[in-house]
């Protein structure tokens, strides 16, 4: 065994215990009839759970809800985060203070953020509806067609700082020479941004989008604290559905199948994304 | 391989590992025991009783009674762990299946009872109840003891009632105006609604909350969740009337934009004067009337639901099959729910479970007052739980989602109730 491979051994051992075992065990559960309140022996049921999940309209409805949530929140975070990162890059005074204040939402636990917004958006007691009332406006933040948007905005409030952090680091690592050369050649700011900054920032952008996308896929706390999946099932995300199925309804084997189907879809997206990025980088 | 390409490949590998961890983070025969000889001699009994309870004031009352218990049972150690409701069941299920249990005595929510019994997690309690001298189990409200039974076998004794009633602000609603019919409730709530005060703070949040609240409307309309033989009974004219009235109330007399409101939102609204009334647990009166709790503290009163029948929840004391000290656990549960100690617990602010306690002079003289106990007696004498049989939580959640769809306007009343009825049938087949 080579020296560098030996160095990897402790990490691989920890990985096998901390990630490998739970992963394999939950994978195995997906092929059984295991329930948290099983009184008899657990039986192997083959693909039954997977077939049941794949043919369940509720699962695909939650899948669509989660996809809409991820697309909306991550897009907004990217646009707002990039705008703020570009502004911060140009900032000259009180840089440290501004950056630390902007990062503050990231350090609050998501369940607390969910509860906080539940009260902020409460029509009788919340600061935001009260402000809107003074302007003569009324808005049902958790009404049909709106609740998912409100949840995405909560995500934007909390996680745009993360996007700023990554993009700012990316922007500051871009060499100055190409930008200066473009300026000397008469390129305007928009042209330089579009043709130089964005292409050079693209590896960081992809990673930032991927990390935020994966994190947004996990959305559970905001749903739990504010809507519990409502109105009806409009904000029932995959993680909330898996929690209900596995923990509330005890059907852990079915919840495991749900999670692995999602995992396969996510892995496929990641692989396609990185293949495209590799192709682009070799061009 | 270029540095850039290698970096991208490494990032890809990391992302795949991260994705696996992130996505999967969402998952991750009982026999009747005979009491031992030592259970008849309190002074000789030894053991440790570890209890899991909900983090509510009533658990503190139970905790405050432990020193008194230890005067009778000096060698039994009682320790109470408190958790919020949403975390309790997971800890209990883990303890039931662990080689060494974490809890020796537990409280069981009514929707968990059949699932726990079917899985063999709970000890039958009939023999222990029968062997306990001067216990008088017939004194418990029947509506509460019915919840402790599965296939006519008792698996515990009542600890706490979650019976619902109509709580109103007597500055706004005179006791003589309290509605006795569903139509009366709608009309009164609409009449007293102003731009600054809603007639009724409702809890239409999807799932459990709307199901709990609407069930009272269903009972008021003369309907029921199940037929006499336990079949789904929600696709009925009574259920449609109840849901139509519920929606009418939400649109005309509830706080605006309150579709996701649960108990705490409604409670705050009533307490702060934003609403004149709410349908809630009878014992909430104490918190609403607590001096300094709001502008109308001391003005709140309790009445039975229009129509007289209420939805009911309850906690039941049960001894797990794998309890480390079942005799000591039963000793504590039976001591705490005995007539004399139940009076003390209720005087200290606990929720009533025994009929005799409601007539005790010490109880009638406490802060709630005789009127309150008379009303609670009426409520508990005509109350029924939200669910019967196995998979109770799933049934409540599924029906609640359909009801919320109807209130949100995304489904018609008929379609929502038909879907709810079908959901119960499917769940019953599981």
More confident residue, A1 or A187: A187
Write down the pLDDT at residue A40. 75
Picking from A8, A41, A230, A259 by the largest number of B CB atoms within 10 A of its own CB, the best residue to mutate is A230
Under 8 Å CB pairs connecting chains A and B tally to: 183
Give me the percent of chain A exceeding a pLDDT of 90: 71
Which member of B12, B116, B272 has the closest CB to residue A270?
B12
- Work out the average pLDDT over B88-96: 91
Q: Which residues make Cβ contacts (< 8 Å) with residue B327, sequence separation at least 6?
A: B35, B36, B38, B39, B45, B47
- Chain B residues with CB-CB distance to A239 below 8 A: 25-26
Would you say residue B205 has pLDDT above 90?
Answer: yes
Q: Which of residues 237-276 of A touch B (CB under 8 A)?
A: 238-239, 242-244, 246-250, 252, 255-256, 258-260, 262-263, 266-267, 270-271, 274
Mean pLDDT, residues B28-54: 73
Closest CA to B80 of B65, B98, B97: B65
d(CA A210, CA B17): 13
| Record: fold of B164-312+391-429 | D-Maltodextrin-Binding Protein; domain 2 (3.40.190)
Q: Which residue does chain B place closest to A249, by CA atoms? A: B394
pLDDT over 60 (residue B6) = no
Closest approach of chain B CAs to the CA of A260, in angstroms? 7
B311 forms beta bridges with B384
Higher-pLDDT residue of B40, B412 = B412
Nearest by CB: A38 against B2, B90, B119: B119
CA atoms within 13 A on the CB side of A5: 2
Average pLDDT over every residue of B348-353: 91
Please report residues of B whose CB lies closer than 8 A to that of A244. Answer: 397
1.10.10.10, 1.20.1300.10, 1.10.3720.10, 2.60.120.650: CATH of A57-282: 1.10.3720.10
**Whether pLDDT at B57 is above 90:** no
**ipTM of the assembly?**
0.85
For residue B262, the distance in angstroms to the closest alpha carbon of chain A comes to 9
The beta-carbon contacts of A116-121 under 8 Å, at least 24 apart in sequence, are A117/A150, A117/A154, A117/A157, A117/A222, A117/A225, A117/A226, A118/A225, A118/A226, A118/B260, A121/A150, A121/A226
Tell me the DSSP string of A236-253: --HHHHHHIIIIIS--HH
Testing the interface with B: which of A124, A132, A175, A209 to mutate, by most B Cβ within 10 A? A124
Q: Which residues lie below 8 Å from residue B222, measured CB to CB, with a gap of 6+?
A: B238, B307
A210 near B CB under 8 A = yes
pLDDT above 60: residue B26: no
- Of A232-241, B54-63, B318-327, the one with minimum mean pLDDT is B54-63
C-beta atoms of B257 and A271 within 8 A: no
Note the pLDDT of residue B34.
Answer: 55
pLDDT confidence of B11, banded at 50, 70, 90?
very low
Among B24, B255, B260, the residue with its CB nearest the CB of A263 is B24
How is residue B428 written in tokens?
């019953």
Distance separating alpha carbons of residues B111 and A17, to the nearest angstrom: 36
- The string of pLDDT tens digits covering residues A182-236 is 999 999 999 999 999 999 999 899 899 999 999 999 999 999 999 999 999 999 9
Q: Is the pLDDT score of B329 beyond 90?
A: yes
Question: Distance (Å) from the C-alpha of residue B108 to the closest C-alpha of chain A?
Answer: 14
Q: Which of A2-11, A82-91, B87-96, B214-223 has the weakest average pLDDT?
A: A2-11
pTM of the predicted structure, to 2 decimals: 0.87
Cross-chain residue pair B22–A38, CB shorter than 8 Å: no
Distance CA B110, CA B386 (A): 9
Contact across the interface for A39 and B29, Cβ inside 8 Å:
yes
Q: In terms of pLDDT, which residue wins out, B30 or B278?
A: B278
Task: State the smallest CA–CA distance between residue B62 and chain A in angstroms.
Answer: 27
Per-residue pLDDT, B83: 94
CA–CA separation, B226 and B386 (whole Å): 10
The residue extents of the domains of chain A are 57-282
Summarised one tens digit per residue, pLDDT across range B115-128 is 999 999 999 999 99
Which residue of chain B has the CA closest to A271?
A: B12
Query: CA of B390: which chain A residue's CA is closest?
Result: A249
Average pLDDT over residues B94-110: 93
Express each pLDDT in A123-148 by its tens digit: 888 999 999 999 999 999 999 999 99
A22 contacts chain B (CB < 8 A): yes
Q: Do A125 and B27 touch (CB under 8 A)?
A: no
The pairing of strands B383-385 and B310-312 is parallel
Distance from CA of B285 to the nearest CA of A (A): 21
- Pick from B25, B206, B258: CB nearest A228: B206
Structure confidence at residue B24 as a pLDDT band (50, 70, 90): very low
Residues of A in contact with B116 (CB under 8 A): 37
**A142, B410: Cβ pair inside 8 Å?**
no
| Structure tokens, B361 | 């002079």
Domain map of chain B by residue range?
A: 37-162+313-381, 164-312+391-429
Report which of residues B384 and A1 the model is more confident about: B384
Question: Closest Cα of chain A to B133: distance in Å?
Answer: 34
Mean of the pLDDT values across residues B194-208? 96
Are B373 and B93 in contact by the 8 Å Cβ rule? The answer is no
| pLDDT > 70? residue B30 | no
Q: Give contacts of A 40-99 with B, CB under 8 A.
A: none
- Tell if the CB–CB gap between B20 and A231 is shorter than 8 Å: no
If you measure CA to CA, which chain B residue comes closest to A143? B259
Q: In this predicted structure, what is the pLDDT of residue B33?
A: 58
Question: What average pLDDT does chain B have?
Answer: 90
Q: Which of residues 132-151 of A touch B (CB under 8 A)?
A: 138-144, 147
Greatest mean pLDDT among B227-231, B242-246, B366-370 lies in: B242-246
Cβ-based contacts of A175 with chain B (< 8 Å): none
- How confident is the model over B304-310, as a mean pLDDT? 95
Give the pLDDT confidence score for residue B22 in this predicted structure: 43
Give the pLDDT score at B36.
56
3-class DSSP assignment, residue B315: strand
pLDDT in tens, B137-155: 999 999 999 999 999 999 9
- Domain covering B37-162+313-381: architecture: 3-Layer(aba) Sandwich (3.40)
pLDDT at B14: 45
Confidence check: pLDDT of A282 > 80 = no
Residue B392 has pLDDT above 50, yes or no: yes
Cβ–Cβ below 8 Å for A231 and B15: no
CB contact under 8 A, A211 and B15: yes
Q: Flag if A255 and B18 touch (Cβ within 8 Å).
A: no
Residue in chain B nearest A262 by alpha carbon = B23
């Amino acid at each position: 065994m080579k020296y560098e491979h030996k160095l990897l051994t402790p990490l691989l051992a920890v990985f096998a215990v901390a990630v490998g075992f739970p992963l394999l065990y939950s994978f195995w559960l997906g092929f059984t009839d295991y329930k948290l309140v099983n009184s008899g022996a657990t039986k192997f049921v083959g693909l039954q759970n997977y077939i049941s999940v794949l043919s369940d309209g509720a699962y695909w409805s939650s899948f669509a809800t989660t996809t809409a949530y991820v697309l909306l929140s991550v897009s907004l975070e990217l646009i707002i985060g990039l705008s703020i990162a570009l502004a911060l890059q140009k900032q000259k005074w009180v840089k440290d203070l501004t950056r630390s204040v902007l990062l503050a939402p990231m350090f609050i636990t998501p369940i607390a953020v969910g509860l906080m917004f539940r009260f902020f958006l409460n029509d009788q007691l919340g600061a935001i509806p009260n402000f809107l009332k003074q302007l003569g406006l009324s808005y049902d933040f958790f009404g049909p067609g709106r609740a998912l948007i409100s949840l995405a905005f909560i995500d934007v409030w909390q996680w745009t700082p993360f996007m700023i952090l990554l993009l700012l680091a990316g922007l500051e690592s871009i060499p100055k020479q190409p930008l200066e050369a473009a300026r000397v050649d008469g390129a305007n700011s928009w042209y330089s941004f579009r043709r130089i900054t964005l292409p050079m920032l693209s590896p960081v952008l992809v990673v930032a989008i991927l990390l935020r996308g994966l994190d947004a896929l996990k959305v559970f706390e905001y749903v739990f604290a504010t809507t519990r999946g409502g109105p009806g099932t409009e904000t029932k995300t995959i993680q909330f559905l898996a929690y209900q199925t596995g923990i509330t309804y005890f059907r852990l084997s079915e919840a495991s199948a749900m999670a692995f189907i999602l995992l396969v879809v996510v892995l496929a997206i990641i692989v396609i994304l990185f293949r495209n990025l590799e192709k682009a980088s070799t061009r | 391989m270029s540095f850039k390409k290698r970096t991208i490949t490494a990032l890809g590998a990391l992302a795949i590992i991260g994705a696996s961890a992130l996505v999967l983070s969402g998952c991750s025969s009982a026999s009747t025991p005979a009491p031992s000889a030592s259970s008849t001699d309190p002074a000789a009994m030894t053991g440790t009783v570890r209890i899991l309870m909900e983090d509510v004031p009533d658990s503190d009352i139970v905790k405050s009674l432990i020193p008194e218990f230890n005067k009778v049972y000096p060698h039994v150690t009682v320790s109470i762990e408190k958790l919020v409701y949403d975390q309790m069941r997971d800890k209990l299920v883990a303890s039931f299946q662990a080689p060494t249990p974490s809890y020796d005595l537990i409280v069981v929510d009514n929707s968990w009872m059949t699932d726990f019994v079917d899985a063999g997690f709970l000890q039958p309690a009939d023999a222990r109840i029968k062997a306990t001298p001067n216990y008088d189990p017939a004194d418990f409200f029947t509506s509460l003891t019915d919840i402790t039974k599965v296939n006519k076998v008792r698996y515990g004794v009542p600890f706490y009632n979650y019976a619902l009633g109509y709580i109103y602000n007597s500055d706004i609603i005179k006791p003589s105006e309290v509605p006795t019919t569903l139509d009366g409730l709608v009309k009164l709530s609409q009449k007293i609604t102003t731009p600054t005060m809603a007639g009724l703070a409702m809890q239409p949040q999807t799932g459990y909350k709307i199901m709990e609240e609407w069930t009272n409307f269903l009972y008021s309309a003369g309907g029921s969740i199940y037929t006499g033989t336990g079949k789904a009974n929600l696709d009925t004219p009574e259920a449609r009337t109840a849901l139509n009235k519920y929606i009418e109330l939400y649109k005309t007399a509830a706080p605006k934009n309150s579709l996701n409101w649960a108990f705490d939102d409604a409670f705050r609204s009533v307490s702060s004067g934003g609403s004149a009334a709410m349908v809630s647990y009878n014992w909430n009166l104490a918190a609403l009337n607590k001096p300094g709790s709001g502008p109308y503290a001391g003005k709140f009163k309790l009445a039975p639901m229009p129509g007289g029948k209420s939805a009911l929840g309850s906690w039941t004391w049960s001894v797990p099959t794998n309890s480390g000290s079942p005799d000591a656990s039963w000793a504590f549960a039976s001591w705490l729910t005995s007539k004399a100690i139940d009076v003390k617990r209720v005087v200290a602010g606990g929720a009533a479970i025994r009929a005799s306690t409601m007539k005790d002079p010490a109880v009638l003289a406490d802060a709630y007052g005789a009127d309150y106990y008379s009303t609670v007696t009426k409520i508990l004498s005509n109350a029924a739980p939200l669910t019967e049989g196995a998979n109770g939580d799933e049934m409540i959640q599924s029906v609640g989602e359909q009801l919320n769809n109807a209130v949100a306007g995304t489904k018609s009343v008929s379609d929502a109730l038909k879907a709810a009825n079908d959901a119960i049938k499917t769940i019953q087949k599981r």
